[in-house]
Amino acid sequence: MKRFSIALLSVWILTVLISPLRASVLDSKLEKTALKLTEAAEGRNITSATLAVFPFQADEKLSKKKVNFAVSEILTKDLLKLGKFTIIERAQIEEVMKEQKLGLSGAVDSETAAQIGKLAGAKLLVLGNVIQMGNSYQLTSKLISAETGEMIASEITEVPVKTFDEDAERYLVLVPESGALSLYLSVKYARLSGKSLGAQTAFGTTATDAANIGTKNMTPVGLGVRYWFNKKWAADAALYPNSYTFDTDILIQGASLSDPPKMTAKARDIRFLMNRVLSSSDKLRLLAGAGICWMEVSHSYSGSSGTLERGRGKFYASEVFYGVLRAGLQWRPSPRIGLELFGNLNAGDTEFETGLRFKNSTTQETSDIAMKKVSVPAFSPELSLSINF
C-alpha cells in the first residue's frame, strides 16, 4: 500500500507538470475567432479602435459555472495579443453597467451595449453567447459598431464540453462552493510506543509478555470524504483500516501448552472532523479543524489455545475515544485536485492496555490480565491527495 501511494503521488505530480505543456483546443479556436473579427474590422478600415468585450450571454447553469466569463476572458486575451485594438478593461465595463443598473450576466441587446460602449469610450463591441448542445458548447461571437449598432462580423465555433472544462478550468467554477464532495487518500506518520507490564498471574498461571515494542514507526493509509456545506465549512470522515499493528510474544509458566501463543493486535481508526477555511487564495488554503477519533483494537493469536481464549474487554481496549485538533495547508493546482499537508494533535486518553483473558477450566471463571501498555502518538503529520466534485 505504501508503494502504491508513492506511485500514485508520482503520477499525479507528473500529470500536473506536463498538462500545461499540451496545446489548448479552446485557445486555438478562440484565437481564430479573434483573428476573423480583427480582419473584418480591418476590411472596414477600422484600425487602432477602442474595443470593449462584453460578458457573453448564457443560461443560469452555465453562468454559475462561469462558462460565459471564461469565453470573454480568453477572447479578450487573444484580441489583446493581436495588438490591433485598444482594449477597455472589464472592470470599466462592469462599472458602467452597474451605473446603468444592468446585471453583469451579459444579457444586453446590441442597442443597449452600444450605449454602454459609448459611455465607456468604445467604438467597437464584442458580444456573444454560449449555449450547450449535447456534449458541446456553441460559442457565438459578434463584432458590433458602437456608433451605429451595425454587426460587422460574426463567428460561430463549437468545443466539446470536456475539452472546454480542461482548457478553461482556471476560469471556471467546476466545483460548487456548497454541496461539493472531496474524496481523499491519506498517509500519516506516527511513532507508536509501548511497553510490557511484566509477569502477570491468574488461576495459578503466570504469563509474561516478551515483546517490548519500544517505539515503532508506522505510516497508516486511510480513505476519507469531505462534504462542503459552503466555501468555509466542511464535515470530514476518514477510515484507517490498519492504523497500528504490533505483536506480543506470550511466555507461559504453569500451563501445559505445547506451542506458546503469539498475539497480534490490530487497530483501526474512524475519524470525524469539522474543518474550516481560515484564509484562501486561487491556489492555497489555510485550514483548521477539530473532532474525535474512535479506535477499535482487535486481536488474533496463533499457537495452542490451552487455558487462553480470545477476548475483548477493557484490557483489550475494544474502544478508545480521543480528541483531534489539526491545522494545515491545501494546494489546489486545479479546482478538482488538492494536495494537503496537516499536523494532527491528539488530545485526551490516547493510552490503552492490551492483554489476555485467562479461563479456569474447572469453574469456567475468566480473568482479563493486562500484558502491554501502548500509547498513540500525541502528534502526527499527514499528507493527503484529494479529488473534488
CATH classification of the domain holding 257? 2.40.160.20
| Closest C-alpha among 137, 153, 155 to residue 145 | 153
Residue 88: C-alpha distances to residues 14, 53, 111, 317, 332 (Å): 38, 8, 19, 69, 31
| Closest C-alpha among 142, 139, 149 to residue 117 | 149
Instruction: Report yes or no on 133 lying in a domain.
Output: yes
Which stretch, 14-28, 129-143, 246-260, has highest mean pLDDT?
129-143
pLDDT of residue 18: 42
Structure-block grid coordinates of residue 34? 479573434
pLDDT of residue 252: 66
pLDDT of residue 368: 77
126 and 234: one domain? no
Length of the chain: 389
Instruction: Report yes or no on 245 lying in a domain.
Output: yes
Lowest mean pLDDT among 3-12, 44-53, 87-96, 97-106: 3-12
Instruction: Report yes or no on 4 lying in a domain.
Output: no
CATH classification of the domain holding 64? 3.40.50.10610
Sequence-separated (6 or more) residues with CB below 8 Å from residue 73: 90, 171
Task: Say how many C-beta atoms besides its own lie within 10 A of residue 8's C-beta.
Answer: 12
Structure-block grid coordinates of residue 11? 503520477
94 and 193: one domain? no
pLDDT digits (tens, 9 = 90+) for 66-89: 899 999 999 999 999 999 999 998
- Give me the mean pLDDT over the 348-367 stretch: 77
- Domain-ending residue, one of 102, 137, 167: 167
Per-residue confidence band for 8, with pLDDT thresholds at 50, 70 and 90: very low
pLDDT digits (tens, 9 = 90+) for 104-132: 555 567 778 888 888 889 999 999 999 99
Instruction: Report yes or no on 8 lying in a domain.
Output: no
Sequence-separated (6 or more) residues with CB below 8 Å from residue 327: 286, 287, 288, 289, 342, 343
In the block, cell 494545515 appears at 328
190 and 245: one domain? yes
pLDDT of residue 16: 46
Instruction: Report yes or no on 12 lying in a domain.
Output: no
Lowest mean pLDDT among 119-123, 204-208, 340-344: 204-208
Identify which has the larger pLDDT, 308 or 294: 294
pLDDT of residue 298: 75
346 and 304: one domain? yes
Identify which has the larger pLDDT, 119 or 175: 119
Instruction: Report yes or no on 129 lying in a domain.
Output: yes
120 and 55: one domain? yes
pLDDT of residue 376: 83
Q: Are 352 and 297 in contact (CB under 8 A)?
A: yes
What 3 state SS string does 233-249 have? EEEEEEEEEEEEEEEEE
Q: What percentage of residues in the chain have a pLDDT greater than 70?
A: 83
- Domain-ending residue, one of 141, 167, 193: 167
316 and 255: one domain? yes
367 and 324: one domain? yes
Edge-to-edge order in the sheet of strand 86-87: 86-87, 50-53, 124-133, 136-145, 151-160
203 and 64: one domain? no
Instruction: Report yes or no on 260 lying in a domain.
Output: yes
pLDDT digits (tens, 9 = 90+) for 229-272: 998 999 999 999 988 887 766 666 655 444 555 667 788 899 99
Per-residue confidence band for 21, with pLDDT thresholds at 50, 70 and 90: very low
* In the chain, alpha helices (H): 2-18, 25-43, 60-65, 67-82, 90-99, 110-120, 161-167
DSSP letter for each residue of 261-322: -EEEEEEEEEEEEEEEEEEE-SSEEEEEEEEEEEEEEEEEEES--TTEE---SGGGTS-EEE
Q: Which residues pair with 356 in a beta bridge?
A: 369
* Domain housing 342: 180-388
Q: Which residues pair with 245 in a beta bridge?
A: 266
Burial of 344 (0-12, 13-18, 19+ CB in 10 A): buried
Q: What percentage of residues in the chain have a pLDDT greater than 90?
A: 43
Instruction: Report yes or no on 6 lying in a domain.
Output: no
231 and 374: one domain? yes
> How many domains are contained in the chain?
2
Residue 33: C-alpha distances to residues 75, 222, 382 (Å): 8, 48, 47
- Domain-ending residue, one of 138, 167, 196: 167
In the block, cell 459578434 appears at 142
39 and 142: one domain? yes
120 and 65: one domain? yes
254 and 279: one domain? yes
